[in-house]
Amino acid sequence: MVNNMEEFTRNLEKLFEYIIKCPLCGSEIIVSEYKYTIPYYGDILISSGTCPNCKYTYRNIEQLSGGEPRKIIYKVEYPSDVNAIVIKSSHARIEIPELGLIAEPGVYSQGYITTIEGLIVEFIEALNFLCRREELSNVKCIELLQKLEKARNGEIEYTVVIYDYMGISDIISNKTLHEKLEVKENKENLSQ
Ligand SMILES: [Zn+2]
């Protein structure tokens, strides 16, 4: 996973930097903006910066050319499948039906680039948080965490489905399937 990700970030072309105020502590964060060209996808802008004071990390991605609302479907069948690069927009909803996992876009959602393994790690972190607060039983926690560890290593089969009405998200692999999404009316996530 790491090699794949390193190779990916080495191909970034830095465009410029700007300063924002940290939403947590008010310190100045230097945000760097990069352009990245993805074959068969197009150009995207990637922004990221970390607060020097509280370590809050700001991340966002934007597509330079407009996308169509779409559903992205990717099946993990082999361990190497978890290395696929995932472009996740802040508006995307992610589902893994076999594992009963859903990540809804929220006010604090960020756009970023990760891998399938990285996505699963985020679900593991979210689950650990719920378990620490005892919102799930111990038995359930252990069972789910074991399942997620297997998913992280690609030892079980599952499907990652991303719903993105902005058409920014993608999973970079020749086995990714794309389906057009019907735009629902009063879709609140579309408000800019
Ligand atoms: Zn801060």
Ligand 1 centre distance from Cα of residue 170 (Å): 30
Ligand 1 centre distance from Cα of residue 111 (Å): 19
Inside any domain, residue 139: yes
Ligand 1 centre distance from Cα of residue 123 (Å): 24
Are 154 and 78 in contact by the 8 Å Cβ rule? The answer is yes
Contact residues for 146 (Cβ-Cβ < 8 A; gap 6+):
none
Band of residue 41 on the pLDDT scale cut at 50, 70, 90? low
Condensed to tens digits (0 to 9), the pLDDT of residues 126-157 reads 999 999 998 889 999 999 999 999 999 999 99
Inside any domain, residue 175: yes
Mean pLDDT of 71-76: 97
Ligand 1 centre distance from Cα of residue 90 (Å): 20
Inside any domain, residue 24: yes
pTM over 0.85: no
Condensed to tens digits (0 to 9), the pLDDT of residues 168-177 reads 889 999 999 9
Q: What is the DSSP letter of 188?
A: G
Domain that holds residue 134: 2-181
Inside any domain, residue 81: yes
Ligand 1 centre distance from Cα of residue 23 (Å): 7
Contact residues for 174 (Cβ-Cβ < 8 A; gap 6+):
none
Mean pLDDT of 10-19: 80
Ligand 1 centre distance from Cα of residue 153 (Å): 33
- Number of domains the chain contains: 1
What percentage of the chain reaches a pLDDT higher than 90?
A: 55
Please state, in angstroms and rounded to a whole number, the distance separating the CA atoms of residues 182 and 69.
7
Mean pLDDT of 108-121: 89
Ligand 1 centre distance from Cα of residue 71 (Å): 35
The pLDDT of residue 15: 81
Inside any domain, residue 20: yes
Q: Which of 157, 169, 10 is nearest to 85 (CA)?
A: 169
Inside any domain, residue 137: yes
Ligand 1 centre distance from Cα of residue 128 (Å): 24
Inside any domain, residue 174: yes
Band of residue 73 on the pLDDT scale cut at 50, 70, 90? very high
Tell me how many helices (H) and strands (E) the chain has.
Answer: 3, 12
Ligand 1 centre distance from Cα of residue 89 (Å): 23
Ligand 1 centre distance from Cα of residue 49 (Å): 11
Ligand 1 centre distance from Cα of residue 33 (Å): 19
**Average predicted confidence (pLDDT) for the chain:** 86
Band of residue 75 on the pLDDT scale cut at 50, 70, 90? very high
- Got the DSSP string for 145-183? HHHHHHHHTT-S-EEEEEEETTS--EEESTT-EEEEPPP
Condensed to tens digits (0 to 9), the pLDDT of residues 86-108 reads 988 888 899 999 999 999 887 67
Ligand 1 centre distance from Cα of residue 28 (Å): 8
Inside any domain, residue 145: yes
Ligand 1 centre distance from Cα of residue 55 (Å): 6
- What does the angle CA 110 – CA 112 – CA 114 come to, to the nearest 5 degrees? 130
- The domain that holds 41 is classified in CATH as 2.60.120.1040
